[in-house]
Amino acid sequence: MDKKLYAVTALFKTPNDIIAAAKAVRDAGYTKFDVHTPYPVHGMDRAMGLKETKLGFVTLAAGILGAVGMISFASWVASVDYPQVIGGKPYWSWPAFVPVTYEIAVLSAVLLTVGAMITFFLKFPNNSHPLHDTRYMKAVSSDTFGIAIQADDSKFNEQEVNAFLKKLGGDVEPIYYTEEFLNFKPQMFEPKFILLLVGVALVAAGGGYFTWNKLLFMPPFDWMMEQPRVNAQSKSEFFADGFGMRPPVEGTVARGFIPYPYKATDRADSVGALLANPFLPTKKVLELGKQKYFTFCSPCHGNFGNGDSRLQGQFPNPPTLHSDKVRQWPDGAIFHVITVGQNVMPSYQYQITREERWAIVHYVRTLQRALNAKESDLQ
């Protein structure tokens, strides 16, 4: 095997020694060298003559990008894409966006910093580096400080470097590597790695399942389940009658519903004096009235209001609608009777809308006029 020299390394015992060694190597003009220490040693950057990193700019740019991106996204969602009235506040309420924007700024700064470090600044992990599994690397990973001057440095000369590092007091050793070693490519899926992934997945899934489906229902972790609040459609200890569902407050009406202020015990003619027919007897109104009359009124009152319906004795017949009494009633009185009912007649308030009731009144009026026509009507 053809062994090539990678670097000459030297180990030192104390941080002061390694700082001094780094300074000496820097001052001697070497550029391709690295220092390995078990923990970060203060002042090493300067001792090695390293330039300050530009990584901070990546962090700043990533943070600003994250913040701007998040606030734009949140603004678009809240005011354009899915506007919702939350807590009675305007669609675009910036205080609600602040925590998320701040978190995403931090997250993107962190992720992009680490990403840039791994890919660009540190140039990816290397699985076959000549320093791997050497005595040198084991030493610097635990309790020794090391410096390695690479063979491809322009000023490199093996004997010179050897002597130089020995003079500084280091424990010197050259590191060799083979082509075959450098060309080693690990498999994508190592068995141990796959086993690790499976193990992590099992622990995460199992732990998650246990936590959210079992643990949170066991005392004392179920403490959030008993809350002093009334749940929808459940019994309640808060209200005296034990009901969680409360009846609507006295006087509640449905949306769009206008309550009828007069009672069934009110006399029709007195109510009639208070109501006025809001509709004019147009063709449309009369046709509506005719249709509704035939649907709801004709079964008892007959097709022409005479009270001669097809019930014929199976049900008490109502008096005729063409009596003087009814003809003299104001429109509102007829409306009132339809609304609240009278004697055997039930209330038609819920089957016939207001508009339809007034239309029926108009139609009844035409029937009355038809059966008591005057000469002048024919003109």
Partner 1 sequence: MSTIESIIIPKKELPSNFVKAGWGLVAVGVVLVIISYATDTHRALFNNLIGFAFLASVAVGALFFIALEYIAGAVWSTPFRRVTEFLASLLPLAIILAIPLLMNMHELFHWSHSDAVAADPILKHKEPYLNEQFFLIRFVVVLGAWLLFFYLFRRNSIKQDVDKDQKHTKNNITLSAIFIPFFAISVSLFAIDWLMSLEPHWFSTIFGIYYFTGTAICALAVTTFLVVSLSEKGYFFKGVNENHYYSFGALLFGLLSFWAYIAFSQFMLIWYANLPEENFWFIARWENGWEYISIAMVLLHFWVPYFMLLSRPSKMNVGNLKRSSLLLVFVHFLDLYWLVMPTYSKAPVFSYFELAFPLLTIGLILVVFSLQAKKYNMVPVGDPKLQRGIDFHL
Binding stretches for partner 1 (CB under 8 A): 42-43, 56, 60, 87-89, 95-96, 98-99
Instruction: Return the exposure string of 189-201: e unless at least 16 CB atoms fall within 10 Å of the residue's CB, then b.
Output: eeeeeeeeeeeee
Give the nearer residue to partner 1 in terms of CB position, either 97 or 358: 97
Residue 88 or 125: the one with the smaller Cβ distance to partner 1 is: 88
Q: How far is the CB of 95 from partner 1 (least distance, A)?
A: 5
Q: Determine contact, residues 138/38, Cβ cutoff 8 Å.
A: no
- Closest approach of partner 1 to the CB of residue 43, in Å: 6
Rounded to an integer, what distance in angstroms lies between the CA atom of residue 268 and that of residue 274?
10
For partner 1, the closer of residues 92 and 296 by Cβ is 92
CB 81 to partner 1: min, Å: 22
8-state DSSP, 320: P
> For residue 294, what are the contacts with CB-CB under 8 A and spacing of at least 6?
303
C-beta closer to partner 1: residue 97 or 177: 97
Q: What is the radius of gyration, based on Cα positions, of the chain?
A: 47
Nearer of residues 74 and 361 to partner 1, judged by Cβ = 74
State in angstroms the smallest separation of the CB of 261 from partner 1: 35
Tokens of 362: 């108009």
| Bridge partners of residue 172, in order along the sequence | 10
* Least Å from the CB of residue 362 to partner 1: 52
Task: In angstroms, give the least distance from the CB of 100 to partner 1.
Answer: 12
The owner of tokens 């002061």 is 16
Q: Which residue is it, tokens 């390694």?
A: 18
Q: How far is the CB of 140 from partner 1 (least distance, A)?
A: 23
Residues 359, 279 contacting (CB under 8 angstroms): yes
Q: What is the DSSP string of 156-188?
A: --HHHHHHHHHHHT-EEEEEEEEHHHHT----S
Name which of 19 and 352 has its Cβ closer to partner 1: 19
Q: Judged by CB, which is closer to partner 1: 42, or 255?
A: 42
**Measured between alpha carbons, how far is residue 23 from residues 14, 139, 156 in Å?**
14, 21, 17
